[in-house]
């Protein structure tokens, strides 16, 4: 048996002699390259995602800005099949249809509610109006009419004498839907012509300023003393204000009796 060589029996002097012989520097480069590649892929992916989201946002924002007002978000709407009309006075459903004219198959969403309301309020007999839709095909119209308190007879050059109704706020209007029997129960108004002013268009008259002062007396008599009120035929005033020394209101009854107030 041959002896072992001296070099084979020599043990390392310290643990440092056990360190691997490959280079630590080369291993670090590989790890760094791997990390950089992963980071690059992550940055590239994030960039793609941001780009896609930005594109979608701009596209949606563009659609929102260009299509508002063109799309119908109210759902399906059919041509108007029914009109519900309610009024506090004599104006009825037939009057409204004649006033409105043919709808010609218009759908419910095509009706301009604001414009329709404004046109109704141009009628002196109407004091307030409310228009609404009841989907899918019903238009609802509710109006409140002025209540006539007096009748003012005026002469028209072309049409002769015409009766104008006077409401509690002094409005003058021709009036529609009232029966002759009902109008006969309303006292006539007699005032000086200087107190009556025409509207700028010449088709009507401005509000009578003294009526709101006289109206409480008439309302009281009509409500609490109906028999006395029915006997009044003519009401007249010149300067009805309380702070006017010459204020006067005169009521004439059917028996030709006058009651200065």
Q: What does DSSP say about strands 126-134 and 160-167: parallel, antiparallel, or unpaired?
A: unpaired
The answer to whether 96 and 145 have CB atoms below 8 angstroms apart is no
pLDDT at residue 3 tops 80: no
Query: Taking Cα atoms as reference points, which of 138, 198, 212, 130 lies closest to residue 170?
Result: 212
pTM given for the model = 0.66
CATH architecture for segment(s) 148-260:
3-Layer(aba) Sandwich (3.40)
For the chain, domain boundaries: 82-145, 148-260
Q: Which spans in the chain are helix H?
A: 24-67, 93-100, 113-121, 180-184, 211-224, 226-230
Segment 84-96 shows an average pLDDT of 96
Q: For all residues of the chain together, what is the average pLDDT? A: 81
Q: What's the order of all strands across the beta sheet hosting 160-167?
A: 172-173, 160-167, 148-156, 188-190, 232-237, 249-253, 258-260
User: Rounded distance, CA 237 to CA 249, Å?
Assistant: 4
Query: Taking Cα atoms as reference points, which of 121, 181, 124 lies closest to residue 147?
Result: 124
How far, rounded to the nearest angstrom, does the alpha carbon of residue 161 sit from its chain's CA centroid? Answer: 40
Question: Looking at per-residue confidence, does 152 or 21 come out higher?
Answer: 152
The CATH H-level superfamily of 82-145 is: membrane protein fhac (3.10.20.310)
pLDDT at residue 53 tops 70: no
At 71, the pLDDT band (50, 70, 90 cuts) reads very low
């Amino acid at each position: 048996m041959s002896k072992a060589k001296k070099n084979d029996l020599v043990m390392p002097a310290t643990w440092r002699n056990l360190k691997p012989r490959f280079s630590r520097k080369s291993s670090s480069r590989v790890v760094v390259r791997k990390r950089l590649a992963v980071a690059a892929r992550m940055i590239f992916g994030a960039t793609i995602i941001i780009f896609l989201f930005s594109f979608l946002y701009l596209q949606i924002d563009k659609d929102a800005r260009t299509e508002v007002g063109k799309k119908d978000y109210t759902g399906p709407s059919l041509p108007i099949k029914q009109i519900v009309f309610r009024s506090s006075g004599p104006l009825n459903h037939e009057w409204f249809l004649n006033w409105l004219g043919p709808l010609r198959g218009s759908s419910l969403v095509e009706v301009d509610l604001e414009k329709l309301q404004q046109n109704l309020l141009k009628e002196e007999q109407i004091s307030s109006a409310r228009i609404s839709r009841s989907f899918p095909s019903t238009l609802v119209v509710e109006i409140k009419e002025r209540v006539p308190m007096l009748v003012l007879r005026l002469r028209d050059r072309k049409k002769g004498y015409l009766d104008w109704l006077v409401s509690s706020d002094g409005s003058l209007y021709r009036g529609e839907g009232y029966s002759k029997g009902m109008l006969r129960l309303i006292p006539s108004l007699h005032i000086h012509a200087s107190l009556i002013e025409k509207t700028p268009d010449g088709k009507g008259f401005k509000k009578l300023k003294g009526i709101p002062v006289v109206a409480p007396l008439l309302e009281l008599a009509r409500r609490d003393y109906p028999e006395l009120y029915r006997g009044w035929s003519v009401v007249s005033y010149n300067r009805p204000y309380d702070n006017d020394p010459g204020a006067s209101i005169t009521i004439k009854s059917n028996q030709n009796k006058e009651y200065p107030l």
